[in-house]
Structure 1
């Protein structure tokens, strides 16, 4: 027995020792040159059936400067073995790079993968021009808050590979707003075969931030297969530290409104060079250059003795990197007039200097005659408030009793001194209060229908008392019983919230606790007996007691 127990224990230890997962990996080539593509293959042998892989490439975190992407997997649902393939591109700096430990998740088990080391050395012979590669093009300088930065990702084909597509662009830009302006555009001829993705960055706060861009380009070459060294798709990853600052305060013009870039004025145009006095014409200024054209504030032009100027309209053409400023001018005087000068200040991030942009005026010949002389009145700010203003020589004195434009023929007076103004306001306020009270009353009655029902019941009960007294004097017992029974049914229905026709003697007792049941039976038999039992004998009824029941019910309503 002891020997059998020892054998079972040894067998259990062997099974436990063999239950460990075996994970191996291989990088091809083992040592890469800077920027050289490589393949990472992870082979897994487990003690259980793994099932399908779930997000095999989500938890792996390559080191800075390395691009790595899941390119394929061989996993059978009834097998305990799996092969996971990644395609990658080595960093541009030589050294040893460690891919941190990560997990591979399968349907039935999670497999832990130990850290993986990649060696990058300049001693490895590698022709970068032979294979496809991605390059990040962005200025290498200090940027400024509010500046518009244009960049691109060039995906260039090589001598042995061609770039046919790109996908999966992901970006992470702290302290920046990023907008993709063009995707999968062909490269210029001088750069060779390939495509590019263009984008725009706008810094939103100062400091040192990191720009991260990841994506994948699809390549095509000779004798490619899914697990070749080059791979069918090749990832790229870029990480750049960008420094952002505010524009310098020293030397900043007072009229600078946030324009950052290199701009030039292309001149101004007018819609008509020989207008008449009072005829509107359009003045258009064209601004070109590179920078934050869409963030420029339109320069304001004040009206003058020669021109009336309406608010400006603007339009930007993104494809042509142009900005239009349009103004509407109305000439006041005839003769040769110059259009208003348009000026504003800009900051050049390359020279780190402020500059001034000016659109030179052009000459316009205005025909026609000047309008009649306008009354002008000048006031001295230092003069006392009750001092009568002096009129300018040649101007008519102001008329104190000019007619109002609203009431022709009546002298214009202050509203506070007009009785019609106050009586009209009192009438409108009173009407508003009455309407408001009516709306609240109707709303309250709609929310409480029992008020209307009980009011109707009270009127019916009062009418029944009068009809019952009349029938009693005339000696009509059935008419008396019918009016009293009807009143009891209506009043009980109002108190109980039920239908009037469905009220019986028992319902009346519920509404009037302690009511005489024989009296109720005699009333209902005498009132409705003919309906259900023709020829039924008349029952005696105490008229005073019946009317007392109606009055009691009326008091409850």
Structure 2
């Protein structure tokens, strides 16, 4: 409003035009630019910011103990070492030093993230060893140093007592079992991990259960966990049970072990609970437990008796009724044959049989099913989908497709062919010549290689024959006669060059030394620019050795500072250049042979005299003096 009053006052003094100008000024001054819309947040960035942080800044501490600390003769204990650090940052030793009568065998190692303050995750890495004492007494594993992220962390000493007067161990042990124990390669095996609870009904659950070993494939989509009552010492006690399907990949003896962290109420994934059970609340202890490994004797599939259509399916399977995408098609039109497969094998990894050859049909290989494995496991069947194209209208059914599987209970291959499906094929729908050519090609593929026959004349010239004029009559052909002369002259020049270097090998030695000097000289300058005294000294010594080696001759690595000084003039030998050569070689020798690397912060001051020395050595190599 003040701007409008001032504008009208100005108009009274300067006329009507001034008032019009004031009105325009008032309108523009009163208009406000709308604020920009707030920036749209990136969903991926928001999701990343919502994730809890992993605490990697806290000081790393180590804990070591035997579980239990007191055992009876013949029993075993677990030697457990725990760090509050990521497993990838721990440089764990290959062997833990223990008393002679105490045997420590590697059992398990694992990592878990515990909930911490401020919505942070605290990493915890545990190493388990199975301890078997040979005699009674007290055994002590001394403390030792483990590097975590390049920093040394002391693992405290741990003590184990073996006494006949100790009470028997009654702690629930983690066990793993498999069925069957002598499977065939590719047969589905069920692994069962069990952690029983106490007789008071208190149960510890597990998280992050892993089946470890070589020679088998674990199907995590089939994993399920439950709490059920199991007999123990004549009573039914609750137990945590984890089951998963395995597939052996090679014959022979295969060892399978299991491990997991105690979790309390912090469970991962769905779980079924039956019976009365007490699960302690509060924060979980996340103690790493491991089970004694079990051995599977995997049998190979028999080589004899393999049937057509076998693609590695092991188990017991049956086919559902095959269906067609259309019951009436024309010649040359594609249709889809869908075959459901049910059974107790690896349905998600079934490989369709190869398509048979047929004169009446063109059959394409079955497409791999894009359905997720967990969906296939829930619905209970897999599907083969073949694409077929009829070549003639004389067919009334689709061709039979051979398929077979290996039955591990019977120990033999069982045929399971895909039966023909009735279909009506009408003429037309495709070019008759194309269908005839396709049928002839399929027939040739079945009966053998086609007979050779001449083709017709091409309608257009090809790339290699653009003209009917013979090569010898074209303008460029005389140049072909000059090619042998050029090759002869090139060979003569090369032989002359070879004989020269054979008579004067020092020329090539000086060139090689000059290239090495220049390379180390450039690296030396870069190290000086970065202020890296260690690399500064190393590259300087390498450059000096490379520049002096052709004058002796000797290997550059065998030269010392005393060998460099005779190549300098007497004034430089006694001046700053000689002093710089002696100091730089002394610094490198001290770094290599001293117990503790000394600090050489004053080496960068030698840059100018060393640069003059390298310039002189490079000039001598170039001049051959």
Q: TM-score range by the shorter chain?
A: 0.3 to 0.5
Give the strand-richer structure, 1 or 2. 1
Greater Cα radius of gyration, structure 1 or 2? 1
Query: TM-score, with normalisation over the residues of structure 2?
Result: 0.42
Query: TM-score, with normalisation over the residues of structure 1?
Result: 0.46
Give the helix-richer structure, 1 or 2. 2
